[in-house]
C-alpha cells in the first residue's frame, strides 16, 4: 500500500509552473487558525502531479493501493482515482459490465486517514463525484450507493500517528479484491498490524507469505456491487 503526504509545508512555486489564472487554484489554507492548531496546509495541484509522476506506473494500475495518512479533502487521492479511471477506460471501456466493476475496484483501492471531520466529508464527496461523473450515475443508483459504502470504510477520521480512530479504537481498513464475474471480496485488517510488515524483513519470518503472517480481523462472504450498496 503506497503512502504519500497530502498536508505538507508550502514551498515557493517555480516560475516555469506559474499559472497566470490564479483564480482557478484551490485554496491551500482554509484559515490561519487551522494552520496554527493543526498545521493544515494543502499541497498545490502542480506539486501533487509532480509527486504522482514519480510513481506513475502505480497510479495507473487499477488495483494498486494508495493510503494517504493526512488526506485532507483529497488533494492526492482525487488525482490518483482519476488516473486509475483512465486506465479502466483504456482497458475495459468497451464492456459496460467490466467498466463498472473495475471502476468500483479503483475506488476501493484508495484509502485515507484525516483528523478533521469536515475534511473527511469533503474527501469522500470529492472522490464520489469523480466516480459518479465517470459512470454517469445518479445518487439513487446502486453503483453510487456502493461507492458511498466503500468510501465510508476507506476514508476514516482518526490519527495516523496513534493509528486510532476518534473513539480511541484501532483503525481498521478493508482489503477489497475483484474476483471477476461481478463478485468482490472484503477482508478487514487493523492498520497497526499492516504497518508491521516492514519489521519482518531480514528476519526468520521474511520467507512466509503475507497470508501466513497477517490474519484478518474480519472476513465477509463474496458480494456483488448491489449487495455492497445494500
- 152 contacts 124 by C-beta, under 8 angstroms: yes
- Spatial separation of the C-alpha atoms in residues 119 and 100, rounded to whole Å: 27
Of 208 and 78, more confident: 78
Confidence at 93, pLDDT banded by 50, 70, 90: very high
pLDDT at 209: 55
Cell of 166: 476518534
Confidence at 126, pLDDT banded by 50, 70, 90: very high
- 44 contacts 79 by C-beta, under 8 angstroms: no
pLDDT at 4: 47
CA nearest to 176, candidates 121, 216, 208, 117: 216
Q: What percent of the chain has pLDDT over 90?
A: 69
pLDDT at 186 > cutoff 80? yes
Average pLDDT, whole number, for the chain?
84
Helical (H) or strand (E) element with 58: helix 56-59
pLDDT at 7: 42
pLDDT at 193: 84
- The pLDDT tens digits for 98-119 are 999 999 999 999 999 999 999 9
- Ramachandran region, residue 168 (left: φ > 0; alpha: ψ -120 to 50; beta: rest): left
Lookup result for grid cell 528476519 = 203
The DSSP secondary-structure symbol of 166 reads T
Count CA within 13 A, CB hemisphere, residue 164.
Answer: 5
Cell of 3: 503512502
CA nearest to 224, candidates 182, 188, 173, 195: 182
Angle between helices 96-108 and 77-92 (to 10 degrees): 160
Of 124 and 11, more confident: 124
CB atoms within 10 A of CB 212: 9
pLDDT at 149 > cutoff 70? yes
- Spatial separation of the C-alpha atoms in residues 120 and 117, rounded to whole Å: 5
CB atoms within 10 A of CB 69: 19
- 41 contacts 33 by C-beta, under 8 angstroms: no
Of 195 and 189, more confident: 189
Cell of 169: 479504537
What are the sequence ranges of the domains in the chain? 2-7+31-171
CA nearest to 147, candidates 190, 100, 112: 100
Of 35 and 14, more confident: 35
140 by DSSP, 3-state: which? coil
Q: Is the dihedral of CA 216, 145, 100, 120 positive or negative?
A: negative
Q: Taking the model in full, what pTM does it have?
A: 0.80
- Spatial separation of the C-alpha atoms in residues 47 and 6, rounded to whole Å: 10
pLDDT at 11: 36
pLDDT at 210: 56
Amino acid at each position: 500500500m503506497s503512502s504519500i503526504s497530502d498536508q505538507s509545508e508550502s514551498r515557493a512555486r517555480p516560475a516555469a509552473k506559474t499559472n497566470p489564472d490564479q483564480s482557478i487554484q484551490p485554496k491551500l489554507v482554509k484559515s490561519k487558525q487551522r494552520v496554527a492548531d493543526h498545521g493544515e496546509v494543502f499541497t498545490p495541484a502542480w506539486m501533487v502531479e509532480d509527486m504522482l509522476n514519480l510513481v506513475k506506473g502505480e497510479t495507473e494500475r487499477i488495483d494498486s493501493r494508495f493510503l494517504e495518512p493526512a488526506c485532507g479533502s483529497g488533494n492526492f487521492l482525487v488525482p490518483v482515482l482519476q488516473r486509475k479511471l483512465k486506465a479502466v477506460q483504456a482497458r475495459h471501456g468497451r464492456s459496460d459490465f467490466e467498466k463498472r466493476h473495475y471502476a468500483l475496484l479503483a475506488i476501493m483501492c484508495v484509502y485515507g486517514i484525516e483528523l478533521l471531520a469536515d475534511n473527511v466529508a469533503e474527501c469522500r464527496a470529492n472522490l464520489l463525484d469523480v466516480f459518479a461523473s465517470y459512470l454517469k450515475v445518479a445518487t439513487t443508483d446502486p453503483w453510487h450507493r456502493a461507492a458511498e459504502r466503500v468510501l465510508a470504510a476507506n476514508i476514516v477520521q482518526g490519527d495516523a500517528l496513534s493509528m486510532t480512530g476518534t473513539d480511541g479504537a484501532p483503525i481498521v481498513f478493508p482489503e477489497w479484491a475483484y474476483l471477476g464475474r461481478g463478485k468482490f471480496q472484503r477482508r478487514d485488517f487493523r492498520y497497526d498490524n499492516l504497518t508491521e510488515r516492514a519489521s519482518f524483513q531480514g528476519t526468520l519470518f521474511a520467507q512466509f507469505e503475507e497470508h501466513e503472517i497477517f490474519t484478518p480481523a474480519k472476513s465477509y462472504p463474496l458480494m456483488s456491487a448491489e449487495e455492497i450498496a445494500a
